[in-house]
Amino acid sequence: MDGKVCIVTGANAGIGKATAVGLAQRGATVVMVCRSEERGQTARQEIIDRSGSQAVHLLLADLASQDDIRQLAQSLLDQFAQIHVLINNAAIIPLRRSLSVDGLELQLAVNHLAPFLLTNLLLDRLKASAPARVITVSSGVHRGATINFDDLQSERRYHHTDVYAMTKLMNVLFTRELARRLQGSGVTAYSLHPGVPSTRLSAHYAGYVGEGRASFADLMRAAQTSIYLATAPDIENLNGEYFANSRVQSSASDPAAAQKLWQVSAELTGLTNGG
């Protein structure tokens, strides 16, 4: 991965941090996207120490804020002439319904709209850097979920795991529609289930607030599919597919819902190219 620039969101903890270590170990220039400078700097040092690579950068953005995402994208475009891999990894599961600074339900904002907006803002640079890849970390819990297009903000009903599963289904459908739009561009898109290490996020999923108990080895195991999708040669023919254990798995595929989701997401993020 020498010379390859790889962005990892939510790289200061859990699977994202392990993914950053794995990519740095393979020679990539890693760009961590984190919301806390303190947590980001601490993790950056750990990633440098574990990987032995100094090519680890930190950019700050709260992915719940569309202004922050736009500023982040501009900083990335200014600082990196090429971008080869974007890993949309950050996610949250608030136990109670809350709103982003943009007035959007927080899981919808961070887990789906942030990847959607950041990816679109970086798309021209990814195309210019082709071959390039967009990898979005979903979850096996997307199976069985449905997208409530008439209540996307979960105003009528909020249960943290149901809304989480819906946003993870959005990750899969976003990837399928992105792949369709990117055909022939040299940029490919993949989604994945990483496994179930004990992290802050999985504690929230289980209904309590706590730090995860996963060892770093557990996190590295959970990072393997993201690392595989970022580094494996010859997977371009699998554009749009969903992976677990570094293999294609069956998953949601609903082209009409994926196109509708794209259009609604473009409206909610103020993108004009949503057609």
Ligand X SMILES: NC(=O)c1ccc[n+]([C@@H]2O[C@H](COP(=O)([O-])OP(=O)(O)OC[C@H]3O[C@@H](n4cnc5c(N)ncnc54)[C@H](OP(=O)(O)O)[C@@H]3O)[C@@H](O)[C@H]2O)c1
- Is 228 one of the annotated active-site residues of the chain? no
Q: Do strands 132-137 and 187-193 pair parallel, antiparallel, or not at all (unpaired)?
A: parallel
Place of tokens 């100094």: 54
Binding residue (CB under 6 A) for ligand X from 50, 180, 200, 221? 200
Binding residue (CB under 6 A) for ligand X from 25, 27, 39, 41? 39
Active-site residue, from 164, 205, 228, 242: 164
Of the ranges 29-37, 145-153, 178-186, 247-255, which one interacts with ligand X (CB under 6 A)?
29-37
Q: Which residue type is seen at 125? A: R
- How far apart CA 151 and CA 43 sit, in angstroms, is 37
Is 15 an interacting residue with respect to ligand X (CB under 6 A)? yes
Site string (180-199) toward ligand X, x via CB under 6 A? -------------xx-xx-x
> What H or E segment, with its residue span, contains residue 248?
strand 247-249
Binding residue (CB under 6 A) for ligand X from 4, 6, 8, 12? 12
- CA 70-73-74 angle, 5° bins: 90
SS3 of 217, please? Answer: helix
Is 148 an interacting residue with respect to ligand X (CB under 6 A)? no
Closest to 138 (Cα-Cα) out of 189, 70, 210: 189
Handedness of CA 33, 39, 41, 44 (dihedral sign): negative
- How far apart CA 54 and CA 42 sit, in angstroms, is 14
Q: How far is the CB of 183 from ligand X (least distance, A)?
A: 25
For residues 36 and 183, which CB has a smaller minimum distance to ligand X in the complex? Answer: 36
Binding residue (CB under 6 A) for ligand X from 36, 74, 146, 249? 36
Is 223 an interacting residue with respect to ligand X (CB under 6 A)? no
- Applying CB under 6 A, the residues found at the interface with ligand X are 10, 12-16, 34-36, 39, 62-64, 89-92, 110, 137, 139, 193-194, 196-197, 199-202, 212
